[in-house]
Homo-oligomer: A and B are copies of this chain.
Amino acid sequence: MESVKIGMIGYKFMGKAHSHAYRDLPMFFPKQLRPEMKVICGRNSEGVAQAAAQFGWKEYTTDWKNLILRDDIDVIDINAPSNVHKEIALAAAKAGKHIFCEKPLALTLQDSRDMLEAAEAAGVKHMVGFNYRFTPAVMLAKKLIDEGRLGEIVHFRAWFLQDWIVDPAFPLVWRLQKDVAGSGSHGDLGAHLIDMAHYLIGDMTEVVGMNETFIKERPLPAAMSGLSAKASKDQAAHKGPVTVDDATLFMTRFDNGALGSFEATRFAAGHRCTNSFEINGSKGSVLFDFERLNELQVYFVDDADDVQGFRRVLATDAAHAYSDVWWPAGHTIGYEHTFIHEVVELMEAIREDRQPAPNFKDGVKCQQVLEAVDLSIAERRWVQVSDL
């Protein structure tokens, strides 16, 4: 089978997840185009060399600009920090490479639109990394909706709950600094919920939001603290301000009339990764929680009246997406499989010469809602999404 040569920029959490997806894909999806793990790129030479060896990349480099210009690269995979997405994507588009960019697409709506425009102008494939779409149980929800089996959708409620910064002694890592991370729970967790809503329900008309930073100051990490110590002698210098939101909530009205509510927080003690949504329609409901990602709770209004109830469907049967390549029914899969499925979509789109889904348009739409919510919070009012 023909191969697709990948050049990947970034090698941390997402770099590892993407690498694994490329590595496993050919074994489980042998009929797909074969991603070839050509070059991995990072700023730290030692770090990227080790990652290349560990993850199975043929080459490594610290020069991303040169990587983009190489003739033997088909796809640029961008999972470097968000603040460099735009520059790399524009260069990749210019060089005629397909682009697979992690979410968030960019730090601002305008940047994400520039990226989409560049990719469209260049005629390349573009994809954005909303991996949760590729959970088989989520795809079952999508199928039920598309086939009308839930009827008219009236409610969508979603919450992404984590708890890794509940402790005030947790240090001021880069994810808690706005200039580096762009956003806090809103852009990190809320973005996934927003894309899920777009995927399953459709566009949003208007939003109103609120947010909070519960812990205003945190201890500086060792390295940062060291630097600060030179400039100051008092103890206070060892703390720094948290400049992103710890939690963001918003409500929305969808174009189709459904009502939506969203909550993203890193302060929900006991929740490691509760990425969850419920959908109510006139004919049924579904409920999903990523901590039990193989399951979808499904309810049908038309079930016999003495046996109505939410069904715990284990989405590992032959009837479920991707199930044929994995293990027998009931033998569950995990987080990393969402990335494998995601890359399968990328490979299929390239072979079929179509845009993958989700692509930069979805990334832009997500960014639009994120900013609409931010504006709503800043101005304490309802904001029309289309105004942005």
Q: How distant is the Cα of A284 from the Cα of B329 in the complex, in angstroms?
A: 17
B285 touches A268 (CB 8 A): yes
Q: Which of B278, B280, B327, B336 is within 8 Å of A267, CB to CB?
A: B280
A210 touches B251 (CB 8 A): yes
* Given A27-B23, A310-B312, A284 contacting B301 (CB threshold 8 A): no
Q: How distant is the Cα of A77 from the Cα of B238 in the complex, in angstroms?
A: 55
B306 touches A319 (CB 8 A): yes
Size of interface on A: residues with Cβ below 8 Å to B: 95
Is A90 in contact with chain B by the CB < 8 A criterion?
Answer: no
B249 touches A261 (CB 8 A): yes
Bitwise interface map of A from 303 to 318 toward B, beta carbon under 8 Å scored 1, else 0: 1011111111110111
Contacting residues, chain B, for A161 (C-beta < 8 A)? 280
Bitwise interface map of A from 231 to 248 toward B, beta carbon under 8 Å scored 1, else 0: 000000000000000010
- Tell me how many chains of this kind the complex includes: 4
B259 touches A261 (CB 8 A): no
B308 touches A313 (CB 8 A): yes
Q: How distant is the Cα of A328 from the Cα of B189 in the complex, in angstroms?
A: 14
Stretch at the interface among A3-11, A64-72, A152-160, A342-350: A152-160
A267 touches B155 (CB 8 A): yes
Bitwise interface map of A from 82 to 117 toward B, beta carbon under 8 Å scored 1, else 0: 000000000000000000000000000000000000
B270 touches A285 (CB 8 A): yes
The smallest beta-carbon distance between A268 and chain B, in angstroms, is 5
Contacting residues, chain B, for A210 (C-beta < 8 A)? 208, 251, 253, 259
Is A19 in contact with chain B by the CB < 8 A criterion?
Answer: yes
Stretch at the interface among A176-184, A292-300, A364-372: A292-300
* Given A333-B335, A334-B333, A335-B333, A280 contacting B269 (CB threshold 8 A): yes
A299 touches B269 (CB 8 A): yes
Contacting residues, chain B, for A123 (C-beta < 8 A)? none
Is A271 in contact with chain B by the CB < 8 A criterion?
Answer: yes
Q: How distant is the Cα of A163 from the Cα of B380 in the complex, in angstroms?
A: 33
The smallest beta-carbon distance between A97 and chain B, in angstroms, is 25
Instruction: Kindly report which residue of chain B lies nearest to residue A147, judged by CB atoms.
Output: B306
Instruction: Kindly report which residue of chain B lies nearest to residue A167, judged by CB atoms.
Output: B301
Residues on A facing B (Cβ under 8 Å): 13, 17, 19-20, 23-24, 26-27, 30, 53-56, 140, 143-144, 154-155, 157, 159, 161-164, 166-168, 208, 210, 212, 214, 247, 249-251, 253, 257, 259, 261, 263, 265, 267-274, 278, 280-285, 290-294, 298-301, 303, 305-314, 316-320, 327-337, 380-382
A210-B253, A308-B311 are known contacts; what are 13 more A-B pairs with Cβ within 8 Å? Answer: A20-B27, A26-B56, A27-B56, A161-B280, A265-B280, A268-B280, A270-B280, A270-B310, A272-B330, A272-B331, A306-B320, A331-B335, A332-B335
A-B contact pairs, 7 of them (CB 8 A): A19-B27, A23-B27, A268-B278, A271-B280, A290-B330, A305-B317, A309-B313
